Amino acid sequence: MTADINQPLDQEYALDRDCTTLSRHVLQQLQSFSAEAQDLSAIMNRIALAAKLISRRLTRAGLVEGALGFTGNVNVQGESVKKMDVYANDVFISVFKQSGLVCRLASEEMDKPYYIPENCPIGRYTLLYDPIDGSSNVDINLNVGAIFSIRKQEGDDIDGDARDLLQNGHQQIAAGYVLYGPSTVLVYSIGRGVHAFTLDPSLGEFILSSENIQVPQHGPVYSVNEGNFWQWEDSIRNYIRYVHRHEGYTARYGGALVGDFHRILFQGGVFLYPGTIKKPEGKLRLLYESAPLAYLIEQAGGKASTGTQKIMDAVPKELHARTPLFIGSKEDVELVESFIEEGVRDKKETTMAHS
Ligand code: P6P
């Protein structure tokens, strides 16, 4: 059964759809009740609980003492920490305690991974996450998100440096995000397509709203912070000049990766966060922002690139490694890559001409 919000709902279908919760969908996807299937279903259920708790806080943030604003601290990324960042980070830790599922959590907000002691003897999974993506939008009531990636726990990581996490995106067994917008939407994949669930506050459940999402092969949207124009390589500036001069492109940029990605997933186009001459590695993190979204976009028939290689093939040198990110419709990402390749060729020719 393909749940599509636009289909007329007969009674039986409506009831069955209301019962297609996230945990049931995972088991349907795996067509199994094996231990691993049950684990994944339970992990997704915990993530859904975290999303509900954070959504509740966000929808009342303006009324709750101490929910908004900055903590006065700076995180490992060198970014000022919002109170909502800390709250959301703690929620993810709390929902996995006493779960027996996840031994270790690695977050944008924590320098080192957090180990849940009672889970570690048996916990077979690591959760990597950005608890609030786009937190600059929180205080102005604009959309924010969370991004998550699930990897198997390899070895016992006794020295706590999580070296086993420094592997490419093919090590992910599941990935997804939560978009806190007019509605709260959870999008996930366990390698069998991309599926979206919408939170029904009256039920307190995420209900299937779009199944087997496929990104259009081309779309009109290009999503980039053009305020960085003069910090980019010439090749990126040439791409921007191209879309400025050609019909059929429109700029959309929300300042929160999850919202910009979600738009492109449904409407097509490309999101760009290029490196700059000063910071060639860009701003976005590989392990818990770019790799999970790359996992999703490839499942949806799209593409994700560092500009020179697939995001899914990139291997981080450290837990909080950053990467340039070009992600979205296959044709649109490949157009950006063609400008980057041309830039590399031009540089080689210039170098040869001067040698
Ligand atoms: P800039 C939010 O801080 C974030 O990590 C992403 O969600 C977003 O796409 C990007 O940074 C925005 O960065 O430099 O355009 O403000």
pLDDT, tens digit, 9 for 90 and up, residues 55-105: 999 999 888 888 888 888 988 878 888 899 999 999 999 999 988 989 999
Q: What letter represents residue 15's amino acid?
A: L
Ligand 1, residues at Cβ distance < 6 Å: 133-134, 136, 225, 255-257, 283
Q: What is the pLDDT of residue 181?
A: 97
Q: Which of 276, 283, 320 to mutate to test the pocket of ligand 1 (most atoms within 8 A of CB)?
A: 283
Name residues of the chain where pLDDT drops below 50.
1
Q: What is the pLDDT of residue 219?
A: 98
Bridge partners, 74 (sequence order) = 80
CA distances from 102 to 33, 36, 179, 235 (A): 19, 13, 23, 43
Q: What is the pLDDT of residue 20?
A: 85
Looking at 167-278, which runs of residues are DSSP E strands? Answer: 172-180, 184-189, 195-200, 205-210, 221-223, 250-251, 269-273
Domain span(s) for CATH 3.30.540.10 in the chain:
2-210
- Provide the CA 295 distance to its chain's centre, in angstroms: 9
Q: Which of 222, 257, 264 to mutate to test the pocket of ligand 1 (most atoms within 8 A of CB)?
A: 257
Q: In what order do the strands lie in the sheet with 144-152?
A: 114-115, 102-107, 125-133, 144-152, 172-180, 184-189, 195-200, 205-210
Domain span(s) for CATH 3.40.190.80 in the chain:
221-354
Domain spanning 2-210, CATH architecture:
2-Layer Sandwich (3.30)
Right CATH number for 221-354 from 3.40.50.2020, 2.60.120.10, 3.40.190.80, 3.40.30.10?
A: 3.40.190.80
| Rounded distance from Cα 137 to ligand 1 centre (Å) | 10
| Rounded distance from Cα 237 to ligand 1 centre (Å) | 19
Q: What is the pLDDT of residue 1?
A: 47
Q: Which atom of ligand 1 lies closest to the CA of 256?
A: 7
| Rounded distance from Cα 93 to ligand 1 centre (Å) | 24
| Rounded distance from Cα 263 to ligand 1 centre (Å) | 15
In angstroms, the CA 26 to CA 40 distance is: 7
Q: What is the pLDDT of residue 4?
A: 59
